[in-house]
Structures are given as structure tokens and as C-alpha cells.
């Protein structure tokens, strides 16, 4: 089945220690998104890629970076995690950037910062 | 201002009873409307969407929603809930002209009891 895969499902990192979360997709979608979802809150868009074009949300902290080396993979790098960065990180994909295209979500990676 | 409101943070309901989860939005542009479900420690799954056409939309798992433009609402309904429907439900909106950015409501926790 075509899907969005996130690894690892659970990640523990230390305060200030860089961490990378990964997302892959077999849907061959053009657009990939990263959302942050804190406990009991709605998902919040951090940034997205349309093909290789990177689009950062205005309020995404500089501590968060992303890479998309090819169509299938997208990475979220947190350069110096703080305790406030503990959250579920959701990757999503869509075929295009129009609102008519459904976003497909991965299962998420739960990040714990100690 | 563009916003999405889910007034009910929690909705308890007995099994086999009907349920309605409310969603209202505020917008000066046309919108696309979505309902997502999230089970514990999982990603988001699309229940249904309204892009255009018939205002009554049927989705998966027996859910339906009705778009009411005059009341700027998109309430989710199910005539008879099951224990397995216990989850967090998010209403989300794409405001046209804003690309494919989903703006989520704060979510409603549906708890189905025996």
C-alpha cells in the first residue's frame, strides 16, 4: 500500500543535542509537510516543500530546519532542542499545492527532550 | 480574521447514541473544509471533505457533515456511535488563496461509553 512512513516512532534526545526525524513516502507526491503537535493541541504547520522549493512558515523558529534530498524523503532537523520542542511531529504529503488535494499523514514521531 | 473554532473540547456519549461535533469558521474568502480523526499516538486520518457541490458530505466510518455557508459551519454527525469511535476529531479549513495550508481547530475529544 502507498503510504507515508515516519521513523522513528519515538525519539528521545537530550537538551541541546541535535536530532533528525525522517519521513518517506511511496505516493510520489509533489508536496511534503512537517507539522508540530503539542499535547492536547492542534497540529501547527512548520514548513513544506513543493518539489524542491522550500516554504517556511513565518513563525517557525530558526532552530527547525528541513531537507528534501529527493521526492521520496524529507527530514526535519532540530539543531538545539529545548524542552518546549517536545511534541508529536507529523509528516504529510499531497499531490499538489491546491487546496483541493488531500493531505495524507504519517503516524508521527513523538519527540521527548530530557 | 480567518479562524476555525471547535467549541466543544470534550463530548461524552453513550454507545449507539447519535453525536454531533461542531465546527465554525471565520473567513472573507471561500473555503475548503475537512474533518480528520486522530487515534492515540497516531497520525491524522481524513474522515471527509467539502470542496464544492452538495453541501451534505458523507465520509468513512458512517460519518457525515453538512456545510452551511450562511452560518459558516461544518458540523460532523454520526447517527449511532461505537466504542471504536473514541478519538480526537479535528476540523480543518483551507482558505482559498493561501495555498494548501490547513488551519486546524483545537480538536474535540469524543469519548464513547458503554
pLDDT tens figures, B6-20 = 999 999 999 999 999
The answer to whether the CB atoms of B102 and A105 lie below 8 A apart is no
Distances (CA, A) of B75 to A32, A42, A52, B65, B68: 28, 18, 37, 5, 9
**Grid coordinates given for B58:** 458523507
The answer to whether the CB atoms of A43 and B105 lie below 8 A apart is no
Comparing CA positions, the residue from B13, B65, B43, B14 lying closest to residue A5 is B43
The β-bridge partners of B48 are B35
Residue A60: list chain B partners with CB under 8 A.
none
Tell me what the pLDDT averaged over chain B comes to: 94
Give the pLDDT confidence score for residue A1 in this predicted structure: 66
Lowest-confidence region among A104-113, B29-38, B53-62, B95-104? B95-104
Cβ contacts below 8 Å, chain A against chain B, sum to 59
Give the pLDDT confidence score for residue B40 in this predicted structure: 87
Residue B28: Cβ within 10 Å count: 7
Give the pLDDT confidence score for residue A64 in this predicted structure: 97
Say yes or no to pLDDT of A2 above 70.
no
> Mind spelling out the 3-state secondary structure of A54-98?
EEECCCCCCCEEEECCCCCEEEEEECCCCHHHCEEEEEEEECCCC
Q: What is the mean pLDDT of residues A32-36?
A: 96
pLDDT tens digits for range B64-77: 999 999 999 999 99
Residue B52: partners with Cβ closer than 8 Å, 6 or more residues away: none
Give the pLDDT confidence score for residue B54 in this predicted structure: 93
Percent of chain A with pLDDT over 90: 88
Comparing CA positions, the residue from B27, B49, B20, B25 lying closest to residue B36 is B49
Of B32, B98, B100, the CB nearest to A94: B100
Amino acid at each position: 500500500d502507498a503510504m507515508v512512513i515516519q521513523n522513528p516512532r519515538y525519539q528521545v534526545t537530550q537538551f541541546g543535542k541535535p536530532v533528525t526525524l525522517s519521513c518517506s513516502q511511496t505516493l510520489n507526491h509533489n508536496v511534503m509537510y512537517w507539522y508540530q503537535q503539542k499535547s492536547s493541541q492542534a497540529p501547527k504547520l512548520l514548513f513544506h516543500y513543493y518539489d524542491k522549493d522550500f516554504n517556511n512558515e513565518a513563525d517557525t523558529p530558526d532552530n527547525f530546519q528541513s531537507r528534501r534530498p529527493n521526492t521520496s524523503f524529507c527530514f526535519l532537523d532540530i539543531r538545539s532542542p529545548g524542552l518546549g520542542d517536545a511534541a508529536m511531529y507529523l509528516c504529510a504529503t499531497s499531490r499538489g499545492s491546491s487546496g483541493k488535494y488531500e493531505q495524507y499523514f504519517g503516524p508521527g514521531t513523538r519527540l521527548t527532550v530530557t | 480574521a480567518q479562524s476555525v473554532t471547535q467549541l466543544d473540547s470534550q463530548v461524552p456519549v453513550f454507545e449507539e447514541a447519535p453525536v454531533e461535533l461542531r465546527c465554525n469558521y471565520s473567513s472573507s474568502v471561500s473555503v475548503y473544509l475537512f474533518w480528520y480523526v486522530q487515534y492515540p499516538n497516531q497520525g491524522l486520518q481524513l474522515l471527509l471533505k467539502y470542496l464544492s457541490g452538495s453541501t451534505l458530505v458523507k465520509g468513512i466510518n458512517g460519518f457525515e457533515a453538512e456545510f452551511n455557508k450562511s452560518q459558516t459551519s461544518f458540523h460532523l454527525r454520526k447517527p449511532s456511535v461505537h466504542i471504536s469511535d473514541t478519538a480526537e476529531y479535528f476540523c480543518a479549513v483551507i482558505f482559498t488563496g493561501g495555498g494548501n495550508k490547513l488551519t486546524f481547530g483545537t480538536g474535540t475529544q469524543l469519548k464513547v461509553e458503554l
